[in-house]
Structure 1
Amino acid sequence: MRKYFKIFLGTWLVLTLFTFLGFTKLDRVMADSPQSQPIYRLYNTRNMEHLHTADVNEKNRLPKLSKDWKYEGIAWAAPVSGDTVFRVYNPKSGEHLYTKDSYEL
């Protein structure tokens, strides 16, 4: 049983590191591309929610409006063309839904 656990743990560690390093390299390449835009990540310490936005004004404004919002940096680089992603806010739960399906709006 120990042998299988070590194999599983080793495989998981290698795949995790490979995935992390691979995506990090990909993000750096994409971030330098003129066909991409940064997606900013903010964290709300009160409701423990992450918010993602491409709007630099929203990124700068939220931490000034409430000390609960903390800017965490660029989450990834998104292509400037392609499908539109919509963000919907649920005031009852305080959560955001991200979708490309306009029927969910």
Structure 2
Amino acid sequence: MKKILLKVSLLVGLGLGAFAVGSEAADAATLYRAYNPNTGEHLYTANGNEIPFVVNAGWRAEGNAWEVPAKGTPVYRVFNPNNGGDHHYTLNRNEVTNLTNQGWRDEGIAWQSGGSTPVHRLYNPNAKTGTHHFTTDVNEKNNLVSAGWKYEGVAMYSGGDQGTTNPTNPTKPVEPKLVWTVWLEIDNGNDQSYVIKEGSKIFGSETEATNWIDNYADNLPFGVSASNYGVKQIFK
């Protein structure tokens, strides 16, 4: 059997490079949304020129996402060039710093948050790319939660320039943290109920995770053997 150690697995899949994004002085606009069926990621952008580009690369245009004002609270966009590529969007500069320290690229201010319509943020713990999703549609949010996504709260707000008293400070999303998980594969023909799926066990340290999976692999019942197993660092 082979034991594998993976030091870092980043959170949130694409297949294209980074783009220039808007500035703090951007006009009020409607965000566009596109979907990558190969990675599961949704792209949100106020730049209409991005949509034809990604559609030519195999993405699906999904129309308008939500309305954003010209003035409000900046929404930052970061890009992960690893794992096939991935974008993430947040108002939280600490989250931007955390991700750039892990190799993501800070792409600056994408648009502004402002208005009265909540934009919900969800996290898919089973995905490697496209792990976060943003939507104003409560039905879409509820359907994703039913499918196993974790609801992380209101990430930002949607609205036009009218109504300057509308809230612009959303509830703070849950910040991801690095944890350790384990995984174990069982040889073909053996009892597969002893498989350990990545993310099913969470540990606070590499030592704790390593000790647990080593002990588990060493104590499999007679006739059951592991082909591969290991520990991995992930965002939770």
Could you state the TM-score of these two structures normalised by the residue count of structure 2? 0.28
Instruction: Report SS of the residue matched to 1:84.
Output: strand
**Change in CA separation of 1:88 and 1:25 when aligned onto 2, cut-off 3 Å:** closer
Q: How does 1:53-72 map to 2 (within 5 A)?
A: 53-64=90-101, 66-67=102-103, 69-72=104-107
Over the aligned positions, Cα root-mean-square deviation in angstroms equals 2.2
Runs of 5+ consecutive residues of structure 2 not aligned to the other structure: 1-24, 29-68, 146-236
Q: How does 1:1-105 map to 2 (within 5 A)?
A: 25-26=26-27, 30=70, 33=71, 36-47=72-83, 48-64=85-101, 66-67=102-103, 69-79=104-114, 81-93=115-127, 94-95=129-130, 96-100=132-136, 101=138, 102-104=141-143, 105=145
Structure number with bigger Rg: 2
Runs of 5+ consecutive residues of structure 1 not aligned to the other structure: 1-23
Instruction: Report SS of the residue matched to 1:88.
Output: strand
Give the letter aligned to residue 70 of structure 1: R
- Work out the CA distance in 1 between the residues paired with 2:117 and 2:108: 23
**Change in CA separation of 1:92 and 1:73 when aligned onto 2, cut-off 3 Å:** same
Could you state the TM-score of these two structures normalised by the residue count of structure 1? 0.59
Identity of aligned residues (%): 31
Runs of 4+ deviating beyond 4 Å: none
Give the letter aligned to residue 94 of structure 2: N
Could you tell me how far 1:92 is from its partner in structure 2?
2.6
Give the letter aligned to residue 51 of structure 1: H
**Change in CA separation of 1:97 and 1:25 when aligned onto 2, cut-off 3 Å:** closer
Q: Give aligned pairs, total.
A: 74
